[in-house]
């Protein structure tokens, strides 16, 4: 069935309601809502979120924004929690204690702190054990919930409260970790990197594929944070678009080891376009700091080039020849 945004919004139930306490203009809720819309309406879902903005703002007692089962979990264990739930479900279903004709899907969410850093071991374990679940990382590039501390997802040179740009250091001193590639190294049936942009087709289709592919799957979603990134609140969709047009956040999926880049910008924009609206990169535009932009651009170009090579190397004819 071809993607039809209007039909999806009109027909599919909202599984993540209004009334949550995420900031105005936050990039996470639209993305999360669309991912949950990719569930078939008749299927039930169990959701677990690692500590982070999404957890502390959507599940404040006595209110929940989730219409499916939700488990409050600690920072490092959203994947571990969900793998246990999934194992129990499989066992109970086998024993005939649960209806055979009903499906339950398992989704674990985590921010970049709870995924790239603190939850990495539990995520790796759950993926390796092959649980039938989806792990979604919403990457806003720092510990936004506690006051913008750097994480390993924070881009190079970004100004955060624990990597302050000044006379001594140029913001975060290390390049960003590439988590999607780490997950690919687990040889999962489906790994994808996506974002909510234009009509959200890319996000929805990848979410549907991830949820309905049997086995452990992983989605990495960029979710801009107006507070932490320092751009005007209303610019969410423009920032998302710039992230993919500059190839800072390439959109691609890996199905059983075969890479497919799902969006190649007709004209790849220079990285300045993405950096300029964000206050966390303000110091990059000061005289004498041109080397930072050059280094940033080189990093983006190298990763993009590598991705193109990987796509070429794993494309269908080669894969069949193996």
- Confirm or reject binding of residue 22 to other proteins (CB under 8 A): yes
CB of 38 to other proteins, least distance (A): 12
| Site residue total, other proteins (CB under 8 A) | 47
321 belongs to the binding site for other proteins (CB under 8 A) = no
The tokens 């993607």 sit on which residue?
3
> Using the rule CB under 8 A, which residue among 162, 199, 286, 315 binds other proteins?
199
Query: In the complex, what is the shortest distance from the CB of residue 232 to other proteins, in angstroms, rounded to a whole number?
Result: 8
Among 119, 170, 196, 216, binds other proteins (CB under 8 A): 196
Residue 111 sits in the site that holds other proteins (CB under 8 A): no
Query: Smallest gap, in angstroms, from Cβ of residue 61 to other proteins?
Result: 5
Q: Which is nearer to other proteins, 35 or 293 (CB)?
A: 35
Residue 10 C-beta: closest distance to other proteins, Å? 5
x-or-dash pattern for other proteins, window 70-109, by CB under 8 A? x-x-------------------------------------
Residue 19 is a binding residue for other proteins (CB under 8 A):
yes
How far is the CA of 14 from the CAs of 41, 66, 67, 136, in angstroms? Answer: 10, 9, 8, 18
Helix (H, G, I), strand (E, B) or coil at 241: helix
**For the chain, how big is the Rg over CA atoms in Å?**
20
Q: What would the x/- binding string for other proteins be over residues 29 to 68, using CB under 8 A?
A: xx--xx-----------------------xx-xxxxxxxx
Does residue 234 bind other proteins (CB under 8 A)? Answer: yes
φ/ψ of residue 228, rounded to 5:
-80, -30
**Cβ-contact 38, 208 below 8 angstroms:** yes
Instruction: For residues 219 and 222, give the distance between their C-alpha atoms in angstroms, rounded to a whole number.
Output: 10
Q: Decide whether 6 or 322 has the Cβ nearer to other proteins.
A: 6
Minimum Å distance from CB 241 to other proteins?
Answer: 10
Q: Which long-range contacts (CB under 8 A, 24 or more apart) does 228-233 make?
A: 228/140, 228/141, 228/142, 228/144, 228/148, 228/160, 228/280, 229/140, 229/141, 229/278, 229/279, 229/280, 230/278, 230/279, 230/280, 230/282, 231/277, 231/278, 231/279, 232/277, 233/24, 233/25
Contact between residue 34 and residue 93 where contact means Cβ atoms under 8 Å apart: no
229 contributes a contact to other proteins by CB under 8 A: no
Cβ 277 to other proteins, closest distance in Å?
Answer: 12
Token pair for 170? 């140029």
CA 309 to the chain's CA centroid:
23
Least separation in angstroms between CB 31 and other proteins: 9
- Specify the residue, 59 or 296, whose C-beta has the smaller distance to other proteins: 59
The answer to the question of residue 279 lying near other proteins (CB under 8 A) is no
Residues across the chain = 322
Q: Is 5 in the site for other proteins (CB under 8 A)?
A: yes
Answer for the pair 81, 114: CB distance below 8 angstroms, yes or no: no
Q: Does 151 bind other proteins (CB under 8 A)?
A: no
Closest Cα to residue 73, out of 22, 107, 105, 27? Answer: 107
Q: Which of 74, 87, 98, 237 binds other proteins (CB under 8 A)?
A: 237
Q: Which residues bind other proteins (CB under 8 A)?
A: 5-7, 9-11, 14, 16-30, 33-34, 58-59, 61-68, 70, 72, 196, 198-200, 226, 233-238
């Amino acid at each position: 069935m071809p993607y039809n945004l209007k039909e999806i919004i009109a027909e599919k139930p909202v599984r993540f309601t209004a009334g949550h306490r995420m900031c105005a203009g936050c990039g996470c809720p639209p993305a999360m809502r669309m991912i949950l819309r990719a569930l078939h309406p008749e299927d039930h879902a169990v959701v677990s979120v690692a500590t982070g903005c999404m957890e502390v703002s959507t599940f404040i007692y006595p209110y929940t924004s989730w219409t499916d089962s939700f488990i409050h979990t600690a920072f490092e264990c959203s994947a571990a929690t969900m793998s246990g739930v999934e194992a129990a479900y499989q066992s109970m279903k086998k024993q005939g204690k649960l209806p055979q004709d009903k499906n339950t899907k398992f989704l674990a969410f985590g921010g970049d702190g709870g995924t790239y850093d603190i939850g990495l071991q539990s995520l790796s374990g759950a993926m390796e054990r092959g649980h039938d679940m989806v792990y979604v990382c919403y990457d806003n590039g720092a510990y936004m919930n506690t006051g913008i501390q750097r994480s390993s997802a924070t881009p190079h040179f970004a100004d955060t409260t624990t990597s302050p740009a000044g006379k001594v250091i140029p913001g975060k001193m290390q390049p960003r970790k590439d988590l999607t590639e780490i997950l690919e190294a687990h040889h999962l049936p489906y790994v994808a990197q996506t974002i909510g942009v234009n009509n959200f087709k890319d996000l929805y289709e990848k979410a549907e594929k991830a949820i309905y592919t049997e086995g452990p799957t992983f989605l990495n979603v960029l979710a801009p944070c107006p507070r932490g990134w320092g751009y005007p609140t209303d610019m969410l969709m423009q920032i998302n678009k710039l992230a993919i047009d500059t190839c800072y956040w390439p959109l691609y999926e890996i199905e059983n080891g075969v890479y497919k880049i799902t969006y190649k910008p007709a004209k790849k924009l220079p990285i300045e376009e993405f950096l300029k609206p964000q206050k966390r990169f303000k110091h990059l535009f000061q005289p004498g700091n041109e080397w930072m932009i050059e280094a940033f651009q080189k990093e983006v170009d190298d990763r993009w080039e590598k991705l193109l090579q990987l796509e070429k190397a794993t494309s269908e004819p080669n894969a069949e020849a193996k």
